[in-house]
Amino acid sequence: MSDSEKVEFTEREALFYHKTIRPGKLEIIASKPLASQRDLSLAYSPGVAVPVRAIADDPGTAYEYTAKGNLVAVISNGTAILGMGNLGALASKPVMEGKAVLFKRFADVDSIDIELDTEDCDAFIEAVALMEPSFGGINLEDIKAPECFIIEQALRERMNIPVMHDDQHGTAIIAAAGIVNACLITKRNLGDVKVVVNGAGASALACTSLIKSMGVRQENVTMCDSRGVIYIGREKVDQFKSAHAIDTDARTLGEALKGADIFLGLSVKDALTPDMIKDMAKEPIIFAMANPDPEISPPDALAVRPDAIVATGRSDYPNQVNNVLGFPFIFRGALDVRATAINEEMKVAAANAIAELAREQVPEEVAAAYGKHHQFGRDYIIPAPFDPRLMEVVPSAVAKAAMESGVAQFEIEDFDEYRHALKSRLNPTTSVLTSVYAQVKQNPKRVIFAEAEDEIMLRAAIQYRDFGYGEPILVGRTKAVLKKMVELGVSDPESYHIENSTASDYVDPMVEILYKRLQRRGYMERDIQRMVNNDRNVFASGLLKLGVGDAMITGMTRPFGQTINEVRRVLDPKPGHLPFGIHVMVGKNTTTFLADTTINERPSAEDLAVIATETAAVARRLGHEPRVAFLSYSTFGNPSGRWLDNIREAVHILDQQGPSFEYEGDMAPDAALNPTIMKNYPFSRLTGPANVLIMPGLQSANISAKLLRELAGHAVIGPMLIGMEKPVQVVPMTAIAPDVLTLAVLAAAGIAG
């Protein structure tokens, strides 16, 4: 994956990430119930004999009765790990696990990493070929050249499932998409462009082959390696490079670039100089994809050629060539038609689909991630990796190309239905959260971390700064915080902003404000002074009130109720708003919003209507079309009871207001969530299962949220505090650093708060 944005973190932090909760980044979860003896009998003996016989009679049914059709092996021998060289098979395992995680995150492809401890090509090929019955596809990774060419070619010939070396073809597909669009913007024809490729490794050779398949002429491509131009007749050129040798008088990169339209760099830092690109054609196209530092930086290139279009492998510059745009979705499409290979037609289809997507109207969530409303143009020729439309567009194009080129074993009859099914495989919350993180990086905020002496809170604060989200303001005793940071491996703890309530310049103005606020509530001025000096939540809230920070996060060391009472001594609700809490339950394909789970014990009808409206707005900000259910023990009056009036009145209030979202109530949970039960109520205004659940009271709400978190296995965001005058979030005492970081970013982005 060509994502080389410079993110700072300590070795301790990276190691902690990989070992916390449970070692590594993967686990196996059963997809069928295994609760009863009957379940076990069906899963294993004797019930498993039935699909065994079916597969023996018809091998194609393995795609129906096993996970084969959604299972890809990520395989390496560790001979070329992330530009670090040959560190061995075992050392490659964290990278291969990471690749497997990306398959799942972006395309819902199950993946298992396999590390083979051999550098012998024949042994590697034999081992992988023997695993064909287990997998629907093979993704080769981090294998050095030229062995990677030999291995991939042999496996493609021997195996009847898709095999792709992503280091070659992933980069090639994304780069080709960008070149197509850059040529469109500069009014060039692929058949006429003059291309210079610098680098002759796996990625460079694959890029060159693919652009030739897409129309660039053989004689118009000059390839250079570390010894200069690869020309016909040059000595000591292997078979892979010689396929791209041409008849030319150019011998150096500089000579080859004279008049060239396109530079494709897959080599080393600073290989391309400003003087070289001065001699390129008008509106040169420069793809400087060396990792982690490009052949020339975009600012240096544009300084001498402001008419250039520049792409790199870096996410901190426009036009990032990122493999994650390709490989998950290419395998998704190949698996869905049970393709026997990933051929040239499928790669070309993927490149064209990605190029076409960049030319479409950019969704709001993608535009927000860039910090401005970018549209197709010189700084947007390649889609963003978190564009949710990739999941629909690329697999569809790949599947169609597989069918048309004769390598598909299963035909998709309705591509509109297929695209809808693809979209529903992923939870939109994950894509929106990704864009929210990117949005905050474009517009960093100051977040006050009220409990900086707590290791989990401090680790989240360090990550907040390291990942570029803004400045953390650490509240705590200065020496204690600095000592803890040293223990966490922070190299420059003195560079952090620490506020100590016993020595801060903000204490006096804070005391003055709070005394005026609380003097008629039984507090003496000395009480306020002690409160500010001794209570971290009061002091941190005061910093937020004074505008020292943009948002605040706390909650690790005290129960929610106590913490929120301390915060509310300083901060008020937003004018006209009701503070309340939302738990966001994130499943594989669905997200459910529960409210109010933290504040209002017996909300009135008016309160319930406000909570519903505000929660629906949060759901929309996280990418969901809200369907609101007012929950009760009753479904439309059955059984009747004394606690239903406020729920029915809340529905009546929304009837009067006419909001832009679906809502219904009173409803028991099964009538709101189970499609079978919902059929019994054809008059219901909900067109599908509810995703916003408005609870009738705090007792049932808080119990439900915590039960779901502990028993149901959902990822949980929150509780998110809504409706305060300033963005404040109170994390549960059980939170881990990623939970704290997520709420801090959501508060900074205005999603939560």
Residues with a catalytic annotation lie at 44, 99
Nearest to 551 by CA among 449, 466, 435: 449
Please tell me whether residue 524 adopts helix, strand or coil conformation.
coil
**Structure tokens that stand for 665 in this block:** 């109530």
Distance CA 37, CA 15 (A): 41
Given a contact cutoff of 8 angstroms between Cβ atoms, the answer to whether 569 and 541 are in contact is: yes
CA 252 from centroid of its chain's CA atoms:
41
Give start and end residues of each alpha helix (H) in 113-193: 121-129, 147-158, 166-185
End-to-end alpha-carbon separation of the chain, Å?
A: 34
Rounded to whole angstroms, the Cα distance separating 16 from 13 reads: 5
Q: What is the DSSP letter of 251?
A: -
Name, in order, each residue with C-beta under 8 angstroms of 411's C-beta and a sequence gap of 6 or more: 337, 403
CA distance 537 to 232: 73
Helices 147-158 and 166-185 pack at an angle, to 10 degrees, of: 100
Q: What is d(CA 144, CA 121) in angstroms, rounded to the nearest whole number?
A: 11
Rounded distance between C-alpha atoms, residue 373 and residue 142, angstroms: 36
Phi-psi region of 406 (alpha: psi -120 to 50; beta: other; left: phi over 0): left
Please provide the DSSP assignment of 592-642 as one string. EEEE-SSS-SS--HHHHHHHHHHHHHHHHHTT---EEEEE-S-BTTBS--T
Phi/psi for 724 (5° steps) reads: -90, 160
Phi, psi of 592 (to 5 degrees): -125, 135
Q: Answer whether 447's CB lies under 8 Å from 744's CB.
A: yes
How far apart CA 384 and CA 361 sit, in angstroms, is: 13
The CA distance from 262 to 279, in Å, is 12
Strand partners for 111? 72
Rounded (5°) CA angle 366-372-375: 65
Q: How many CB atoms lie within 10 A of CB 703?
A: 12
Residue closest to 563 by CA, chosen among 460, 457, 648, 708 = 457
Give all strands (DSSP E) within 290-394, no chain letters: 309-312
